[in-house]
Amino acid sequence: VRTRTVPAHYDSELLGAIDRVGIRTLHECMQTVFEDGPRRDCRLWLGDLRLQALTNYVSFRNMALVRRCLYLFAGMSRADGYVTACVYEKPQPRIGEVVLLDYSALFGDVLLGYLRASEDRVTVDEL
Protein backbone atom coordinates (compact mmCIF):
# COMPACT_ATOMS: atom_id res chain seq x y z
CA VAL A 1 0.00 0.00 0.00
CA ARG A 2 1.41 3.35 -1.03
CA THR A 3 2.11 5.80 1.77
CA ARG A 4 -0.60 8.35 2.30
CA THR A 5 0.13 11.97 1.49
CA VAL A 6 -1.11 13.19 4.86
CA PRO A 7 0.16 10.95 7.66
CA ALA A 8 -2.33 10.16 10.36
CA HIS A 9 -1.23 10.52 13.97
CA TYR A 10 -3.20 8.96 16.78
CA ASP A 11 -2.71 8.92 20.53
CA SER A 12 -4.27 5.47 20.58
CA GLU A 13 -2.65 2.38 19.07
CA LEU A 14 -6.14 1.00 18.48
CA LEU A 15 -7.17 4.01 16.37
CA GLY A 16 -3.93 3.73 14.41
CA ALA A 17 -4.60 0.05 13.75
CA ILE A 18 -8.18 0.78 12.67
CA ASP A 19 -6.90 3.46 10.30
CA ARG A 20 -4.32 1.11 8.77
CA VAL A 21 -6.96 -1.56 8.17
CA GLY A 22 -9.29 1.02 6.62
CA ILE A 23 -6.60 2.31 4.27
CA ARG A 24 -5.66 -1.25 3.32
CA THR A 25 -9.33 -2.03 2.61
CA LEU A 26 -9.65 1.07 0.43
CA HIS A 27 -6.51 0.08 -1.46
CA GLU A 28 -7.95 -3.40 -2.10
CA CYS A 29 -11.09 -1.81 -3.56
CA MET A 30 -9.06 0.41 -5.91
CA GLN A 31 -9.23 -1.59 -9.13
CA THR A 32 -10.20 0.05 -12.44
CA VAL A 33 -13.01 1.60 -10.36
CA PHE A 34 -13.65 1.61 -6.60
CA GLU A 35 -15.16 -1.87 -6.48
CA ASP A 36 -17.44 -2.92 -3.68
CA GLY A 37 -16.15 -6.33 -2.73
CA PRO A 38 -13.48 -6.96 -5.38
CA ARG A 39 -13.98 -10.67 -4.83
CA ARG A 40 -17.75 -10.51 -4.41
CA ASP A 41 -20.15 -8.40 -6.48
CA CYS A 42 -17.53 -6.25 -8.23
CA ARG A 43 -19.73 -3.23 -8.79
CA LEU A 44 -19.37 0.46 -8.15
CA TRP A 45 -21.87 1.98 -5.71
CA LEU A 46 -22.41 5.73 -5.74
CA GLY A 47 -22.89 5.88 -1.97
CA ASP A 48 -19.60 4.06 -1.41
CA LEU A 49 -17.85 6.17 -4.04
CA ARG A 50 -18.48 9.31 -2.01
CA LEU A 51 -16.72 7.93 1.07
CA GLN A 52 -14.00 6.20 -0.93
CA ALA A 53 -13.24 9.38 -2.87
CA LEU A 54 -13.07 11.51 0.29
CA THR A 55 -10.66 9.05 1.89
CA ASN A 56 -8.66 8.80 -1.32
CA TYR A 57 -8.16 12.58 -1.42
CA VAL A 58 -6.18 12.48 1.85
CA SER A 59 -4.47 9.16 1.27
CA PHE A 60 -3.61 7.95 -2.22
CA ARG A 61 -4.72 11.05 -4.19
CA ASN A 62 -5.65 8.91 -7.20
CA MET A 63 -7.71 11.53 -9.00
CA ALA A 64 -7.77 9.53 -12.24
CA LEU A 65 -9.66 6.72 -10.53
CA VAL A 66 -12.30 9.08 -9.11
CA ARG A 67 -12.63 10.78 -12.50
CA ARG A 68 -13.11 7.38 -14.19
CA CYS A 69 -15.87 6.48 -11.72
CA LEU A 70 -17.63 9.80 -12.28
CA TYR A 71 -17.55 9.35 -16.05
CA LEU A 72 -18.87 5.81 -15.71
CA PHE A 73 -21.87 6.98 -13.68
CA ALA A 74 -22.53 9.94 -15.98
CA GLY A 75 -22.32 7.77 -19.07
CA MET A 76 -24.60 5.11 -17.63
CA SER A 77 -27.52 7.25 -16.48
CA ARG A 78 -31.00 5.98 -17.32
CA ALA A 79 -33.14 7.28 -20.18
CA ASP A 80 -35.13 9.35 -17.65
CA GLY A 81 -31.92 11.03 -16.47
CA TYR A 82 -31.62 9.27 -13.12
CA VAL A 83 -28.24 8.03 -12.00
CA THR A 84 -28.56 4.49 -10.70
CA ALA A 85 -27.28 3.48 -7.28
CA CYS A 86 -24.63 1.25 -8.83
CA VAL A 87 -23.01 0.41 -12.14
CA TYR A 88 -21.18 -2.65 -13.36
CA GLU A 89 -17.96 -2.28 -15.28
CA LYS A 90 -17.38 -5.88 -16.33
CA PRO A 91 -17.79 -7.84 -18.49
CA GLN A 92 -19.24 -4.74 -20.19
CA PRO A 93 -20.34 -1.48 -18.57
CA ARG A 94 -24.03 -1.49 -17.67
CA ILE A 95 -26.33 0.28 -15.26
CA GLY A 96 -27.49 -1.28 -12.05
CA GLU A 97 -31.06 -2.26 -11.46
CA VAL A 98 -31.79 0.07 -8.55
CA VAL A 99 -32.48 3.79 -8.37
CA LEU A 100 -32.16 5.14 -4.84
CA LEU A 101 -32.92 8.85 -4.88
CA ASP A 102 -30.56 9.61 -2.02
CA TYR A 103 -27.75 7.87 -3.93
CA SER A 104 -28.65 9.72 -7.14
CA ALA A 105 -28.41 12.99 -5.25
CA LEU A 106 -24.86 12.11 -4.17
CA PHE A 107 -23.52 12.45 -7.72
CA GLY A 108 -23.38 16.24 -7.40
CA ASP A 109 -21.70 15.99 -4.01
CA VAL A 110 -19.05 13.58 -5.32
CA LEU A 111 -18.49 15.87 -8.30
CA LEU A 112 -18.06 18.91 -6.04
CA GLY A 113 -15.66 17.01 -3.79
CA TYR A 114 -13.67 15.98 -6.85
CA LEU A 115 -13.46 19.61 -8.00
CA ARG A 116 -12.27 20.79 -4.60
CA ALA A 117 -9.64 18.04 -4.36
CA SER A 118 -8.39 18.07 -7.94
CA GLU A 119 -9.19 21.56 -9.25
CA ASP A 120 -10.06 19.78 -12.53
CA ARG A 121 -12.59 22.26 -13.85
CA VAL A 122 -12.58 20.78 -17.37
CA THR A 123 -13.92 17.41 -16.21
CA VAL A 124 -16.47 18.97 -13.87
CA ASP A 125 -17.79 21.29 -16.58
CA GLU A 126 -18.07 18.37 -18.99
CA LEU A 127 -19.97 16.20 -16.52
Whole-prediction pTM value? 0.89
pLDDT band at 7 (very low <50, low <70, confident <90, very high): low
C-alpha to C-alpha distance for 46 and 108, rounded to whole angstroms: 11
pLDDT tens per residue, range 55-69: 999 999 999 999 999
* Inside any domain, residue 113: yes
C-alpha to C-alpha distance for 81 and 8, rounded to whole angstroms: 40
* Inside any domain, residue 38: yes
User: Does residue 30 sit in helix, strand or coil?
Assistant: strand
The residues, ordered by sequence, that sit 6+ positions from 106 with a Cβ below 8 Å of its Cβ are 46, 47, 49, 50
Q: Look up the domain containing 101 and give its range.
A: 33-119
* Inside any domain, residue 7: no
C-alpha to C-alpha distance for 64 and 50, rounded to whole angstroms: 15
Nearest to 84 by CA among 105, 110, 112: 105
C-alpha to C-alpha distance for 22 and 1, rounded to whole angstroms: 11
pLDDT tens per residue, range 74-87: 999 898 988 999 99
* Inside any domain, residue 98: yes
Q: What are φ and ψ of residue 16, in 5° steps? A: -60, -40
Residue 93 φ/ψ region, left for φ over 0, alpha for ψ in the -120 to 50 degree band, beta for the rest: beta
* Inside any domain, residue 102: yes
What is the domain count for the chain? 1
